[in-house]
């Protein structure tokens, strides 16, 4: 079945640094969604991407839909302590828009 692999699995960065993470798939996706999950909470939608090559920003966050439709990237600029959490990519599963497949997650930790 479809699988979304995220890298890095975890990262420690200093406050103020920029962060890059990516999500890759063995099959094509028509939509990419990026979520952030804080401990004990549900995922919060950050950015949605719908077209290959699309670049979308949300504040300090920028995400791109890869040209091959098999990958997506998320960048966070000038990280702050509240960026700590787990970032998941997700996309519709098996051609059906309604089921989301989630990636393996990137755990971000920020040191002061």
Partner 1 sequence: NAGVMQNPRHLVRRRGQEARLRCSPMKGHSHVYWYRQLPEEGLKFMVYLQKENIIDESGMPKERFSAEFPKEGPSILRIQQVVRGDSAAYFCASSLNSGTYHNEQFFGPGTRLTVL
Q: Which of 27, 56, 60, 92 binds partner 1 (CB under 8 A)?
A: 92
Q: d(Cα 104, Cα 32) in Å, to the nearest integer?
A: 14
Give strand ranges (E) for 50-95: 55-58, 61-65, 71-76, 85-93
Residue 47 CB, shortest distance to partner 1, in Å, is 10
Contact characters 50-89, partner 1, x per CB under 8 A: x-------------------------------------x-
Q: d(Cα 111, Cα 44) in Å, to the nearest integer?
A: 22
Backbone angles phi, psi at 2, to 5 degrees: -70, 140
Kindly list the residues in this chain that would bind partner 1 in the complex (CB under 8 A).
4, 30-31, 33, 35, 40-45, 48, 50, 88, 90, 92-93, 96-105
């Amino acid at each position: 079945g479809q699988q979304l692999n995220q890298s890095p699995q975890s990262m420690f960065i200093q406050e103020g640094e920029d962060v890059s993470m990516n999500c890759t798939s063995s099959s094509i996706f028509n939509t990419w969604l990026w979520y952030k999950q804080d401990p004990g909470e549900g995922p919060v939608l950050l950015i949605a991407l719908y077209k290959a090559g699309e670049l979308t920003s949300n504040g300090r966050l920028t995400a791109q839909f890869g040209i091959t439709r098999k990958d997506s990237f998320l960048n966070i600029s000038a990280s702050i302590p509240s960026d700590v959490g787990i970032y998941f990519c997700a996309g519709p599963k098996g051609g059906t828009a309604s089921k989301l497949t989630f990636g393996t997650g990137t755990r971000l930790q920020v040191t002061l």
